[in-house]
Structure 1
């Protein structure tokens, strides 16, 4: 009889420990599982090399979300147009934690189209940023002053839309190209002056 009682007590102990373990896991992990996330999308008219699903979305260095989808806008939008007439932007969707970007308490609520539009008018943009020498990239959300022009779009975005601004690498390449063009033009003008004069 005492051996049966020991098995019974042992069984109760094991079941109790399992239930307690499950409760602890749920309490610790509930913050991440039940946390409300919002999806935002942005379009890039440049290569997003180094950006992958799971790449971080940061606001002033603080991680506020991650990339969940990378595709092309013509896969989702402008399906009624011939391929030659569609925009060929890169579509990037990210999930953000509204609590970390102000939620409803800040001047703009990035979880709504109207709130995001107000912040975009103030200069909020997403930029592709390289991460060190590893070749990986992340998205940086920040305000740009003065607010740059946005890419033209001919559709209503499915999610909250935050426009992109050219990456630092892209700006550098464009500036270098302009300098080379200026030098080439100056050299051509100098040659034409020496050959005619």
Structure 2
């Protein structure tokens, strides 16, 4: 009877030990043995400094898994060394559009492959500049073509360069030596220009121009008053001319009337005398010339009178055309 109790106690102890061992393994493993996690590989051609086992894997700020392994692969690319990083994705953090949780690895892998086809890429980013720790950031970059290095691309997530790496590549393309040489050359030329006194001469020329401009402006201040005096004198002359012109025109018209009367009398006398002399006689020719000259003189006087009547200033300005 005691032997049977002893056997039962030993069996219970063994069973309890096994249960505790299993519970400890589950606890120490963080429950990963009870989940449907799948490992994926990422290949980085640059430094993975700050990344360690257990570093988080994020998808747009949501924790999705962690880093499980970091190794070095020699002669895997033209850069000499490639760093494969294994990550584990927790399927419990993935939810289907129907609201159901992912329950098996095949469904999880299909979801990951679909997101990769839509542009999901892995990128190494700095979690803290103070501690230097890094993380794996998953996001969508459809403009970056997927490049696979794994013999089993179904379990590989393509990677892209980190922001710091992209910045370093951009800075590496800048011809720093050439820029520094050009800057030194420019500084030398500027110093030579400053030492040549060209700036001082330029300022002196500008100062002289400014002084001449001020003198010109000072002289131009007297122009308006001078113009006013000229216009006033011209107005006085015009008024005086207009005041004297009517009397002169009246006297001229009287003289023209007297001249016209005398011319008509002379013409009557000539016609009467022409009957007394022969057509070709010297007296007849002289009278004809006298008549023609008299007619021309009368026309000139009439035209001159008309011009003065239309434009009295013609006496001052002179003749501007035929009367």
* Interval containing the TM-score (normalised by the shorter chain): 0.5 to 0.7
Report 1:1-197 matches (<5 A): 19=15, 23=19, 26=22, 29=26, 31-59=31-59, 60-72=61-73, 74=75, 88-102=81-95, 109-112=107-110, 115-132=111-128, 133-141=130-138, 143-144=139-140, 146-150=141-145, 152-153=147-148, 156-157=151-152, 160-175=155-170, 177=171, 180-181=174-175, 185=179, 188=182, 191=185
Distance in 2 (CA, whole Å) between partners of 1:73 and 1:148 is: 29
Distance in 2 (CA, whole Å) between partners of 1:11 and 1:111 is: 49
Residues 46 and 150 (structure 1 numbering): CA distance in 2 closer, same or farther, change over 3 Å? farther
Residues 50 and 102 (structure 1 numbering): CA distance in 2 closer, same or farther, change over 3 Å? same
Contact 2:74 2:81 in 1 (8 A): yes
Q: Higher helix fraction: Structure 1 or Structure 2?
A: 2
- More relative contact order, 1 or 2 (CA 8 Å, 6+ apart): 1
Distance in 1 (CA, whole Å) between partners of 2:149 and 2:20 is: 50
Tell me the C-alpha RMSD between the 2 structures: 4.4
Unaligned runs of 5+ in 1: 76-82
Distance in 1 (CA, whole Å) between partners of 2:132 and 2:79 is: 30
Q: Higher strand fraction: Structure 1 or Structure 2?
A: 1
Task: Count residues with an aligned counterpart.
Answer: 178
Unaligned runs of 5+ in 2: 190-323
Could you tell me the TM-score, scaled by structure 2's length?
0.41
1:53 match: secondary structure: coil
Residues 110 and 12 (structure 1 numbering): CA distance in 2 closer, same or farther, change over 3 Å? closer
